[in-house]
Amino acid sequence: MTVSEVRTRYLAFFAARGHVIIPSAPIVPGNDPTTLFTSSGMQPLIPYLLGKDHPEGKRIVNSQMSFRAGDIEEVGDNRHTTFFEMLGNWSLGDYFKKEQLPWFFEFMTSKEEGLGLDPTKLFVTVFAGDPDTGMEMDTEAVGIWQELFKTKGIDAEFADIGSEAAGYEHGINGNERIFAYDAKKNWWSRSGVPANMPAGEPGGPDSEVFYDFGLPHDPKWGPKCHPNCDCGRFVEIGNSVFMQFIKNADGSFSNLPKQNVDFGGGLERLAFATLDKPDVFLIDVFDTARNAIEYLSGKIYGSDEKITKSFRIILDHMRASTFILAEGIVPASTEAGYVLRRLLRRAIRETDRLGVKDKVLASVAEEFADKYADQYPRLQENKLKILDEIAKEEEQFRRTLETGLKQFEKAISIKSGIVSNADQRKELEERVYIKTLGAETVFELMTTYGFPEELIREELASHNISVDDWDMVKSLFEKHRELSRAGGAQKFAGGLADHSEQTVRYHTTHHILLKALQMVLGDEVKQRGSNITSERLRIDFSSPGKMTPEQKEEVERIVNEIIYQDLPVSRTVMPREEAEKLGAQMEFGVKYPDMVSVYSVGPIHATEENPDIPNAFSLEFCGGPHVKSTKDIHDGGKRFKIQKEEAVAAGIRRIKAVLE
C-alpha cells in the first residue's frame, strides 16, 4: 500500500468506530516553549490525557507530523527516520484494553478495512511488572492477545523475558509470540519508570506490536534475536499506552478515576510492513526523491552498504528539512534553526560522499513538496521559499566543506606518498593516519575553517581516530566565545555596528519603525532582534503573517511623517517599574537592572503631575545613542523605504529598510 492509502484506511477505520478525525498539529509548536518540535501524537494532547475535556469528545483520531532530533544519528538503517507521521487514536475516559487491542489487531489483519498483514508475522510485548514498586504484570493484556491470535489459528505462547538484556539470552522458543518486558520497555509516564514518578503523576503499562521481516539475526547485538532486538529483523509498528494508574503520596498506586488509551503507530513503518520489504525507504513517498538522487549521482540505491546509507540520510534529512522549512524556520545557529542547519549539512556531506559536487538538494526537496501536496498543501504554498533557503545553505556550506575537508585530511595524515605499481602502470596513493587528534587542532578546524563539531566527530569515527581531550576542546571554545562577546560588546555597543552619524540616524528610525508596526499590525508586535549599520537598518519582530503591500505602505507613511516633524528625542533614567507602567518597549529576553535608560521620540508620556504633556510617539528601554530631533534623520530630503520583508522563523518576520 501507499502511505496515503494506509493513512486513509486508518482514519476511516477508527472514524467508523466513533472517533472524530482531528488535524495534525504543527511540527513546530507555536505555544510550547519547552520543546522545539512536536515529537509524537500524544504531545499536543497531554492536557486532555491529564483530565481536560477535549472539544471533539472522548474518542479522537489523527495522523500527526512528528520530528525527533534525537534520532539523527540512527538514520541510515532500514527503519529509523527523524521525520515521520504518527497515527494515533485516543480514548479519553471511554474505552480501554478490551476494545483497543482487538481494534488494532483487526486493523492490522483485516483485508477489507485494514492492512491485511499476515498475523503469523506479528509479535507483541506487554508489561512484566515492577518489583521496585510492587506493580503487577499486565496479565489482562496477555489474555487478550492470546485470544486474538487464537482467532487466526495461532497458539500464541507467553514468555516472561524481564529485561532487554535477558531477551538476547532467551531468544524465541517454540511458539512464543507474547513477551513481557520490564518498566524500561513497557511502561509509560512522563517521569519514566514507576519508581521515578512523583506523587500525583499518572502512568500505566503499554503493549507494543512488532512486525517480523524474517531477516537473519546480526549477532553483534547479542547471541539471540527477540522482539526488542535492534538487528532489524523486528520493527515496532504500534504501541498502545494504557494510562491506568496514579501514584499516591506513600509510593503506592491507585486506579485513575478516568482511564485513557493513547495509541501511536508509525505510518511509514505500517506502510513498509504492507510491502513486506524490510526497508522504510522503499515506500512510495521516497520513490521520486530516491530516483532523483540516483540520476544526479549515477549511483544505485541498494548496490552497496555505504551508498545505501548515504541515500537514506539524504532522503530522511531532506524530507524533514522540507517540512521544517514550510513552518517558516530557516537555518540558524540556535534552537530549531540549528537542527535544520545540521540536517542540511549532513545531507550535503552525504551527496559529497556520493560524488555529487553541485547544488542538488533543492531538486530532491522539490520531490517531497510535490509528493505531499494533497495532504500538506503548506509545502506547495511555500515551495519557492523552501527551495531558495536550501540552495543558499548548500552553496554556503559547500565552500566550508571543501576547505574544511582539505584541512581535516591534512590534520589526520602522518604522511602522504606515491607508490608505483609497474605491473598495472598506475599510481596508488598510500596514506598513514594518526590515531589521536589534539584538542588544539580540533579547535582550529572549528573556528578557523568553520568545520562543525558533529561533522568532525563523524569524520573521525569513519577513520577510527579519537580526540585526546574533548573537554579541552570545549574549554578552548568557551574562551573563544568569551573573547568574541567582549569584543562584540565594544564594537556593537547599543546594538549598532558603529556610532557614525548615519548609523545613529538609523537607530532612532528603528525605534520609530517598531511603533509604526504596532500601529499597523497591532500591539502584539514585539521586537525579536535588530542589526543596524550605516548602510541600513534591520528589525526582527513577532507577527502572525506576511505583511500586505498596503500595510507596508502605511508603515512607510507613518515613519516618514514622524521623521519630517521636529519631535525631540530624549533620554530619561528612571526606575524599571515606572518605565514598565509607562508602557516602554523592551527587548525580548533581556534582563534589565532596577534603574533603566529610556529613550522617547516626542515628549515623555503624560503623568498625573503633568497631565497636559502630550504622549511620546515611541518609548523604549535603550542605551542609545540617538539623534536629538527627528528632523535630523531625513538629512535634507531622505525618505524611509522598506527594501524587504520576509520570514526568518515561525511567527517571526524581518524588515530591511534604508533612508534614500
pLDDT at 416: 40
Per-residue pLDDT tens digits for 66-81: 999 888 888 999 999 9
- Kindly report, residue by residue over 86-145, the tens digit of the pLDDT: 999 999 999 999 999 999 999 999 999 999 999 999 999 999 999 989 999 999 999 999
Q: What is the rounded distance in angstroms from the CA atom of residue 409 to the CA atom of residue 398?
A: 16
- Give the Cα separation of 239 and 207 in Å (integer): 6
Please say if the pLDDT value at position 200 is more than 90. no
Is the CATH code 3.20.20.60 the one for domain 494-659?
Answer: no
The confidence score (pLDDT) of residue 428 equals 40
Mutual orientation of helices 361-371 and 383-412 as an angle, nearest 10°? 140
Amino acid at 293: I
What interhelical angle do 97-109 and 3-15 show, nearest 10?
140
Pairing of β 176-181 and β 157-162: parallel
Alpha helices for 157-286 (secondary structure H): 164-170, 183-186, 267-275
Per-residue pLDDT reduced to its tens digit, 508-534: 999 999 999 999 998 888 888 788 888
Q: How many CA atoms lie within 13 A of 279 on its CB side?
A: 15
Q: What is the overall mean pLDDT for the chain? A: 86
- The H-assigned helical ranges of 254-304 are 267-275, 287-297
Closest CA to 28 of 387, 525, 382: 382
Asked if 173 contacts 130 with a C-beta cutoff of 8 angstroms, the reply is no
**Architecture field, domain 3-279:** 2-Layer Sandwich (3.30)
Which residues partner with 101 through β-bridges?
Answer: none
CB count within 10 Å of CB 50 equals 13
The proportion of the chain whose per-residue pLDDT surpasses 90, expressed as a percent, equals 52
Q: Where are the domains of the chain?
A: 3-279, 284-406, 434-491, 494-659
C-alpha 588/C-alpha 656 separation (Å) is: 19
Can you name the residues that pair with 574 across neighbouring β-strands?
Answer: 596
CB distance 99 to 260 below 8 Å? no
Q: pLDDT by residue (tens digit) across 356-406?
A: 988 899 999 999 999 999 999 999 999 999 999 999 999 888 887 777 778
Q: Is the pLDDT of residue 590 over 90?
A: no
Alpha-carbon separation of residue 639 from 506, 535, 634 (angstroms): 12, 14, 6
